[in-house]
Amino acid sequence: MDNEYYVYGNIDERLVPLQGDVTKLLIDNNNKNISYKYKRKECIMERNKYILDEKEMPQYWYNILPDLPEPLPSVLHPGTKKPIQPEDLAPLFPMELIKQEMSTETCIEIPEEVRVIYRLWRPTTLFRARQLEKNLKTPAKIYYKYEGSSPPGSHKPNTAVAQAYYNKKEGINRITTETGAGQWGSALAFAGACFDIEIKVYMVRISFEQKPYRRVMMQVWGADCIPSPSEQTKAGRNVLAREPDCPGSLGLAISEAVEEAVNRDDTHYSLGSVLNHVLLHQTVIGQEAKIMLEKIDEYPDIIIGCVGGGSNFAGMFLPFIKDKISGLHPELRIINVEPNSCPTLTRGPYRYDFGDEAGMTPLLKMYTLGHGFIPPPVHAGGLRYHGMAPIICHLLNLGLVEARAVHQLETFQAGVDFARSEGIISAPESNHAIRVAIEEAIKCRETGEAKTILLALSGHGHVDMAAYQAYFDGKLKDYKYPQDKIEKALHDLPVV
C-alpha cells in the first residue's frame, strides 16, 4: 500500500469520535479497491453532552397528583374558604388548564400545536460537567440539564406556549401576567407572538430597573411591559400611596395582573409558576433527562435545583420522585435551593395564604412568608416569591424533598466558577442550584463517594450582566431576612 489516510469519525454512532488513528483507510492503488481496518485505542474521548432526537421528545406531560402518597390539600375560595370549583377559576383561565389543575390522570397528552413550537428548541441538552468535576477534584459525576437554549433563554416557554395555546383555542386574544426577573414575562411574550395574542406584563419594579434587557425582549415579541407597583390598578395605587418608592414584589405584580384580567371580559390571566398545571407542563424537562440517563445507564443520587415559585425544579424532579414514592429509588435526595433573603421553605410556616399581595387569589396551602412580603432591594438573584408551589410544599411537609437557603455572594461566585469551568454563564437564579451542587460535590471529595448529581440549570444569564457587574464591583451584599419582619408579615395570614 503506497498511501495511507487517516479518517477521524464514529465507529459506532452511539459513541463520540475516538481519539488517535481510529480508522486506517488503506487504498490499493492498483485495483482501486477500498478496504477498512479499524484500530481502537484504549482511551475513548470522554463524552460531554447527550442529545435526544426530536422524535424522542415526550408526547405527554406527567401529572404527579395521582401518585402522591397523600392527597394535595384543597385550594380554597378566598371568600367562602371552601374548596374551589372549576367555575370559580373560569374568569382567569381557559377550561382546559382548569381541568389540568385538578386532573387525576397520570399522563396528559401534549397537543401537536404545542409540540411543533417545542421542537424549536426541544429536546434540550444534558451535559456532563467534566471540567467542573476536574476543577473540584471530586469523584462525583455532575450532570446538568440546560434550558437556556429556548428562544427566551429559560425553562419558562415550556408552560408559556401551552398556556397561550389553550387560551387561543378558547378564543382569548389578550392575557395579563406578572414577572419577577423577567424570564416569565419574556417567555409569555414569545408565546403570545407564536399565537397572535396581546400580552400585558407587570414587572417587579426593582427588576424592571435592574434588568432592562428582559423588558426589551418582551417588546421585541410585541408585549407591553410596565413596572409594578403601577398607577394602572387599585392594588398598585394603594401600595404607592403607602410607599412611593416601593421596589415591588411578585405577589403585588400578581395582584395587578389579576385585577386587570378580572375587570376585562376580553382578558385572561396567566401564571408562570406555583400552580399545578404550570408544574405539569415543565415535566418535559425531567422526562427528557430520565431518558438520556437511562441510555447511559445512570440514575441520580441527588437532584438539585433553584426554587422561587418552583416550576423549573419541579419539572425536573417530579418524573424522578415517583420512583422514590414507589420504593424503586428510596434513597434519592432532592434539594430545593432558595435565597436567604427570601427563605420561604426554610423559615416560613406551612399555612394557607393568598397567592398575591392584595388577597384576590384563591388560598393555597404552602410555606409562606406572608402575602405582604417585600424582598429587599439588595437581592439581585430573582426567586422573590413569598410562597411556593403547593406540590413542592406538600412533598417537603411529607419529608420527600429537602430545602436549603444560600447567601447571594456565594451563589454568584458559584456562577463564575461554573462559567470558567463549563463555559455557560448561568442566570443568577440558577446560580443558587450550582452553589449547592458544588457543595455536594465537595462532600463527595471528602468522603470519597462517587455520587451522581443531577442539576437543573434553568437558563442563561446573558441579559443579567448588570447583576454580575454589581457582584464584581462589590456592590452586592448578603442579606438574611430578619425574623421580626417575617413574624410581622405573618400577622396578616388568613384564618382558615
Q: Write out pLDDT tens, residues 221-271.
A: 999 999 999 999 999 999 999 999 998 888 899 999 999 999 999 999 999
Decide which of 26 and 305 is more confident. 305
Residue in this structure with the C-alpha cell 481496518, named with its chain if needed: 37
Topology of domain 62-113+154-269, CATH:
Rossmann fold (3.40.50)
Using CA atoms, how far apart are residues 83 and 397, in angstroms rounded to an integer? 21
Q: State the average pLDDT over residues 175-179.
A: 96
The residues of the chain that CATH labels 3.40.50.1100 are 62-113+154-269, 122-152+283-490
| pLDDT value of position 13 | 39
Decide which of 17 and 391 is more confident. 391
Using CA atoms, how far apart are residues 268 and 169, in angstroms rounded to an integer? 13
Q: Is the pLDDT of residue 29 over 70?
A: no
Q: Three-state SS for 126? A: strand
Model confidence at 442, pLDDT cuts 50, 70, 90, reads very high
| pLDDT value of position 243 | 93
Using CA atoms, how far apart are residues 341 and 238, in angstroms rounded to an integer? 25
Using CA atoms, how far apart are residues 91 and 69, in angstroms rounded to an integer? 32
| pLDDT value of position 6 | 37
Cα 90 off chain centre by = 26
| pLDDT value of position 18 | 38
DSSP 133-148: HHHHT-S-EEEEEE-T
Q: Are 412 and 430 in contact (CB under 8 A)?
A: no
Q: Three-state SS for 289? A: helix
Using CA atoms, how far apart are residues 1 and 7, in angstroms rounded to an integer? 16
> What's at 478, amino acid-wise?
D
Model confidence at 424, pLDDT cuts 50, 70, 90, reads very high
Q: Are 260 and 232 in contact (CB under 8 A)?
A: yes
Model confidence at 102, pLDDT cuts 50, 70, 90, reads very high
Model confidence at 375, pLDDT cuts 50, 70, 90, reads confident
Over residues 447-493, the pLDDT tens digits come to 999 999 999 999 999 998 988 999 999 999 998 888 988 888 888 89
* End-to-end CA separation in angstroms for the chain: 87
Using CA atoms, how far apart are residues 229 and 253, in angstroms rounded to an integer? 7
**Among 409, 425, 407, which Cα is nearest to 474's?**
409
- Which residues are paired to 25 by β-bridges? 5, 36
Q: State the average pLDDT over residues 161-184.
A: 95
Q: Exposure pattern of 98-130 as b/e (b: 16+ CB <10 Å)?
A: bebbbbeeeebebeebbbebbeebbbbbbbbbe
Decide which of 42 and 293 is more confident. 293
Using CA atoms, how far apart are residues 356 and 13, in angstroms rounded to an integer? 52
Using CA atoms, how far apart are residues 33 and 284, in angstroms rounded to an integer? 49
Decide which of 29 and 468 is more confident. 468
Percentage with pLDDT > 90 across the chain = 78
Over residues 453-466, the pLDDT tens digits come to 999 999 999 998 98
Q: State the average pLDDT over residues 160-168.
A: 98
CB atoms within 10 A of CB 356: 27
Over residues 318-330, the pLDDT tens digits come to 999 999 999 999 9
| pLDDT value of position 4 | 38
Q: Are 432 and 411 in contact (CB under 8 A)?
A: yes
| pLDDT value of position 332 | 98
| Grid cell in block for residue 201 | 406584563
Q: Is the pLDDT of residue 46 over 90?
A: no
DSSP 294-318: HHTT---SEEEEE-SSSHHHHHHHH
Model confidence at 374, pLDDT cuts 50, 70, 90, reads confident
**Mean of all residue pLDDT scores within the chain:** 90
- Which residues are paired to 83 by β-bridges? 76
Q: Reply yes or no on domain 122-152+283-490 having CATH 3.40.50.1100.
A: yes
| pLDDT value of position 379 | 66
| pLDDT value of position 23 | 42
Q: Are 56 and 294 in contact (CB under 8 A)?
A: no
212 HSE (CA, 13 A, CB side): 2
| pLDDT value of position 34 | 43
| φ, ψ of residue 7 in degrees (nearest 5) | -110, 130
| φ, ψ of residue 383 in degrees (nearest 5) | 55, 55
Residue in this structure with the C-alpha cell 434540550, named with its chain if needed: 124
State the DSSP H helix or E strand holding residue 365, giving kind and residue range, or none if neither: strand 363-367
Predicted structure pTM score:
0.89
Decide which of 359 and 471 is more confident. 471
| pLDDT value of position 207 | 85
Q: Is the pLDDT of residue 183 over 80?
A: yes
| pLDDT value of position 363 | 96
Q: For 38-47, 85-94, 150-159, 442-451, which range has the lowest pLDDT when averaged over its residues?
A: 38-47
| pLDDT value of position 376 | 76
Using CA atoms, how far apart are residues 303 and 401, in angstroms rounded to an integer? 10
Q: Are 382 and 308 in contact (CB under 8 A)?
A: yes
Exposed / middle / buried, residue 31 (Cβ in 10 Å: 0-12, 13-18, 19+)? exposed
**Among 217, 220, 117, which Cα is nearest to 159's?**
117
Using CA atoms, how far apart are residues 224 and 282, in angstroms rounded to an integer? 25
Q: Are 368 and 386 in contact (CB under 8 A)?
A: yes
| pLDDT value of position 212 | 87
Q: Three-state SS for 107? A: strand
Over residues 281-292, the pLDDT tens digits come to 999 999 999 999
Q: Is the pLDDT of residue 31 over 50?
A: no
Percentage with pLDDT > 70 across the chain = 90
> What's at 228, amino acid-wise?
S
- Which residues are paired to 352 by β-bridges? 365
Q: Is the pLDDT of residue 180 over 90?
A: no
Q: State the average pLDDT over residues 19-30.
A: 41
